[in-house]
Amino acid sequence: MNDIVIYGSPLSPFVRKVEAVLRHTGTAYDFEAVNVMDMPDWFKEISPARRIPVLRDRSISAEGVLGTIADSSAICLYLERKLDAGLYGQGAFDAGRVTWFEEYADTNIAMPLGMGLFRPIIFPRFAGKESDLEKARKTWNETLPPLFDYLEASLDGGEYLVGGRFSLADIAVGSQLTQLALVAGLPDAVRWPTLVKAIQAMQAHPAFAANLGVCRKMLGGILPEPVDLS
Ligand SMILES: N[C@@H](CCC(=O)N[C@@H](CS)C(=O)NCC(=O)O)C(=O)O
């Protein structure tokens, strides 16, 4: 039994973000699955916003609300301080930039990707129905390209978003874009070459590889291949 426990589902990009920090720092942790469609009462108690992930640090408390932290950003900050992870760049300005990209990933990217693409493709299939491809195509062709443009420009030909080094900015953005790769594949490599290279590097990174394998297995039965939205 490990001190750190993560409650959630590997398919959540916010859970993926937290797991990537733990894997990057080589921290052993326990994972307890929580079904967001039918949250048990004990989980509602430790997740006031009714969302995954929640972290427990058993060295603080093994039960109850004590020892728990909700929200992936709060969890990542806790892990940064506790594990001295070095994931917020070097210096105050880089830390601010890292936090900006984390926020951008968690809101501006997560919303259209989750509601406009992942859910319309995956959720109907859980119920044995066809994906809502009209909605997914609109997101892919109209909503996402300006976001890809911004990320391409921010990478400025390099592999990392902030300070030329791997940081939580890359983890947060990579966690969301993995959702894209799972259900619809990668953006157009001719139009967004640096972004596509960065996503591919992220998928091969040990911090992400295990999660990706688990997610592919979980989705394999209902979506053997990403759908073509072009
Ligand atoms: N700001 C939260 C967002 C977490 C979040 O939205 N998680 C989704 C799963 S990807 C969730 O729990 N959804 C439950 C629901 O919508 O009922 C974080 O960073 O942890």
- What is the CATH classification number for the domain harbouring 115? 1.20.1050.10
Rg (CA), the chain: 17
Report the side by side order of strands in the sheet with 54-57: 30-33, 4-8, 54-57, 68-70
Is residue 11 domain-shared with residue 53, that is, in the same domain? yes
Is residue 97 domain-shared with residue 73, that is, in the same domain? no
Distance 14 CA to ligand 1 centre (A): 7
End position of a domain, from candidates 19, 48, 83: 83
Is residue 180 domain-shared with residue 96, that is, in the same domain? yes
Q: Whose CA is nearest to atom 14 of ligand 1?
A: 51
Over the stretch 119-163, which tens digit does the pLDDT of each residue have?
A: 999 999 989 999 999 999 999 999 999 999 999 999 999 999 999
Q: Is the dihedral of CA 214, 215, 219, 225 positive or negative?
A: negative
- How far apart CA 65 and CA 68 sit, in angstroms, is 6
Is residue 126 domain-shared with residue 159, that is, in the same domain? yes
The arithmetic mean of pLDDT across residues 69-81, rounded, is: 98
The lowest-confidence range among 50-54, 108-112, 175-179, 207-211 is: 207-211
Neighbouring C-beta atoms of residue 156, cutoff 10 Å:
10
The arithmetic mean of pLDDT across residues 20-30, rounded, is: 97
> Is the CB of 71 within 6 Å of ligand 1?
yes
* pLDDT for residue 49: 97
Contacts of 218 (CB under 8 A, 6+ apart): 10, 11
Is residue 202 domain-shared with residue 176, that is, in the same domain? yes
Is residue 65 domain-shared with residue 97, that is, in the same domain? no
Distance 110 CA to ligand 1 centre (A): 10
* pLDDT for residue 154: 98
> Is the CB of 14 within 6 Å of ligand 1?
yes
Is residue 75 domain-shared with residue 128, that is, in the same domain? no
Structure confidence at residue 230 as a pLDDT band (50, 70, 90) = confident
**Average pLDDT of the residues of the chain:** 96
Query: CA neighbours within 13 Å on the CB side: how many for 155?
Result: 22
Is residue 58 domain-shared with residue 99, that is, in the same domain? no
> Is the CB of 118 within 6 Å of ligand 1?
no
Domain count within the chain = 2
> Is the CB of 36 within 6 Å of ligand 1?
yes
> Is the CB of 203 within 6 Å of ligand 1?
no
Q: Whose CA is nearest to atom 13 of ligand 1?
A: 51
> Is the CB of 217 within 6 Å of ligand 1?
no
State which residues form the domain around 32.
Answer: 4-83
Atom of ligand 1 nearest to the CA of 39: 17
- How far apart CA 31 and CA 183 sit, in angstroms, is 24
Is residue 99 domain-shared with residue 184, that is, in the same domain? yes
DSSP 8-state class, residue 162: B
Atom of ligand 1 nearest to the CA of 70: 20
> Is the CB of 7 within 6 Å of ligand 1?
no
> Is the CB of 106 within 6 Å of ligand 1?
yes
Q: Whose CA is nearest to atom 11 of ligand 1?
A: 51
Is residue 78 domain-shared with residue 24, that is, in the same domain? yes
The arithmetic mean of pLDDT across residues 15-25, rounded, is: 97
Alpha helix segments (H runs only) across the chain: 13-24, 41-46, 72-83, 91-104, 110-113, 119-126, 133-138, 144-155, 168-184, 193-204, 206-220
CATH assignment of the domain containing 23: 3.40.30.10
186: buried, middle or exposed (CB in 10 Å: 19+, 13-18, 0-12)? middle
